[in-house]
Structure 1
């Protein structure tokens, strides 16, 4: 892993810990503050998991444990967990069942990490809605998608991210390989507006 990237990630985690400590110090019976402290803690936990996954990919290589799974069941479970952790705050998140295959072959744990990172990114920009989907890849395999209704790729953030999310998604995508094919993570502008994240798996 690039030492500069590692330093940025560790610095970001340090700042998040500082924010959490401050929120918890001020926390008494203030329910909104309790909710914000919980969200901060979850975000920090996700950053640490992402960092450790990337570290493993860089030092040992990341291998996908591919299983036959229902993409719809998988996305519904992911959405339930995401919404439970966020207490219903933020943009509405829906699943688009159009053209979704009955069965797909992928690593449930790794793909969940990638899509959670994509959802975190989409949540920073979405105005009202985020859409999850999964379609067959014409080249074979699957394409998981996260589409938000925000300003699109290239929009400025008040608090810039570390870029850890896309690095993580690329590591997870490339861990999925089949013969000469390898997975790929993409981020682009959707023709109808907003950003479109695609996790392409062979």
Structure 2
């Protein structure tokens, strides 16, 4: 299994464009030290770093495979940290955690799942109108993480098309989590009452 050359070219082009945006914001700051501009530049830098890590992780998955380090993790702490990392992405958004049915302990690779959930949150941030809700529950022997936004759902269009890197990364990370003959999976769907729902199921 090798990485799709077209996806690689698109991602590299996207990274180049984002570096250009960051360069422009930093150039503005050399003239006028504005806090809002500084926050935007910082957010751009974080997003760029995370996209680069995602690309390198996906490359490793396709060339060498991923070997997750499964450990006992507190989903409450894990999701709260994700929220803290994204709370300034769009200050007008409300980003919350649904703690109903939240398990006390779950077993997964915290680093890899963090990459996947960060990608899902970045996607939700682009489309959400006013709110995003993250959650985790255990059912039928699976741990299910979800990210739900109140945007237009999968029919949404962007000025700049998505590279598809996020879902490819999530699928690779989910599948790396396996137990016996069961493999994890990642899905993106439109909710019946509107908005998009990302879900990652881990055995």
Q: Give the TM-score category using the shorter length.
A: over 0.9
Post-superposition, which runs of at least 4 consecutive aligned residues in structure 1 deviate over 3 A?
none
CA deviation map 1:74-102 (0-9, x unaligned): 1112212332xx27624111000111111
Asked whether the 8 Å contact 1:147–1:196 carries over to 2, the reply is: yes
The aligned runs of 1:124-163 (5 Å cut-off) are: 124-138=126-140, 140-163=141-164
Cα displacement (A) at 1:154: 2.2
- 1:81 and 1:26 mapped to 2: Cα distance? 25
Q: Distance in 2 between matches of 1:29 and 1:101?
A: 45
In the alignment, what sits opposite 2:173? Answer: 172
* 1:94 aligned partner: 96
- Provide the secondary structure at the position in 2 that maps to 1:13: helix
Q: Distance in 2 between matches of 1:149 and 1:88?
A: 14
State whether structure 2 residue 12 is matched by structure 1 residue 25: no
Q: Supply the distance in 2 between the matched residues of 1:81 and 1:157 (Cα, whole angstroms).
A: 24
Structure 2 segments unaligned to the other structure (5+ residues): none
- 2:187 and 2:90 mapped to 1: Cα distance? 28
User: How far is 1:21 from its partner?
Assistant: 1.1
Q: Work out whether residues 144 and 201 of structure 2, in 8 Å CA contact, stay in contact via their aligned partners in 1.
A: yes
Q: Distance in 2 between matches of 1:39 and 1:81?
A: 10
CA distance in 1, matches of 2:114, 2:179: 20
Q: Give CA deviations for 1:102-146 in whole Å, capped at 9, x if unaligned.
A: 1111111111111110000000111111000011132x1200000
TM-score, normalising length from structure 1? 0.94
Match of 2:76 in 1: 72
CA distance in 2, matches of 1:90, 1:162: 26
* Residues 89 and 125, structure 2, Cα contact 8 Å, conserved in 1: no
Aligned twin of 1:191: 192
Change (3 A) 1:126 1:80: same
Distance (Å, rounded) in 2 between the aligned partners of 1:97 and 1:70: 12
Residue number among 11, 14, 21 corresponding to 1:12 in the alignment? 14
What do residues 141-198 of structure 1 show as CA deviations (whole Å, max 9, x unaligned)? Answer: 2000000011111211122221110011001100100010000000001123100000
Structure 1 unmatched runs, 5+: none
> Helix, strand or coil: the match of 2:192?
coil
TM-score, normalised relative to structure 2: 0.94
* Equivalent residue, structure 2, for 1:81: 85
CA distance in 2, matches of 1:88, 1:165: 19
RMSD: 1.3
